[in-house]
Amino acid sequence: MGSSLLARLDARDRALFARWTIERETTGRRAWTALTHLGGVCCSVAAALLPLAIEGPVRVAAMHAFLGLAISHGIVQIIKRNVLRERPALERESLIASPDAFSFPSGHATAAMAVAFIYATAFPAFAVPLMVLAAAVGFSRVALGVHYPGDVLAGQAIAVLTDLLVLSLR
């Protein structure tokens, strides 16, 4: 029964991927590409480290964001190197370069959510736009053809659970 459940989940993941990826000539491709880079190492680390220069609650949130980002990144890398799920490029050409050969879980989606969730909990007035932005980064990974939706959801779940752990250690 377990493998049939996994087979069904994989089939649904691939079906959603086929529906949600954009075509090379899509008008909004540049916007999706810019959005996806917000989950990359430069932007996510900068979003966690630059606010350390600000005193008060922003600095505390930044320390939590960096810790959540670092821990979740480690978890993602361990999982990627053990699951070894290939990227979906064989099904449809990706529209951007992939940072590595493995798809599960999405590092970009994890990074964006790890940083956004910490700042959203620290500053509830910004929670909705931060969470929407993190979700959009995750969706961009599917739209651009480098991840299946399940990769993104797994990465976002890892980020939230890691952040909850970091916040519980205060």
- Distance (Å, rounded) from C-alpha 118 to C-alpha 167? 8
pLDDT score, position 11: 83
pLDDT score, position 99: 67
Top-level CATH class of 2-168?
A: mainly alpha
pLDDT score, position 60: 95
pLDDT score, position 13: 83
pLDDT score, position 98: 66
pLDDT score, position 165: 96
Q: List the chain domain ranges.
A: 2-168
pLDDT score, position 7: 82
pLDDT along the chain (170 residues), means of 10: 75 81 71 84 92 93 96 95 81 61 89 97 97 95 89 96 93
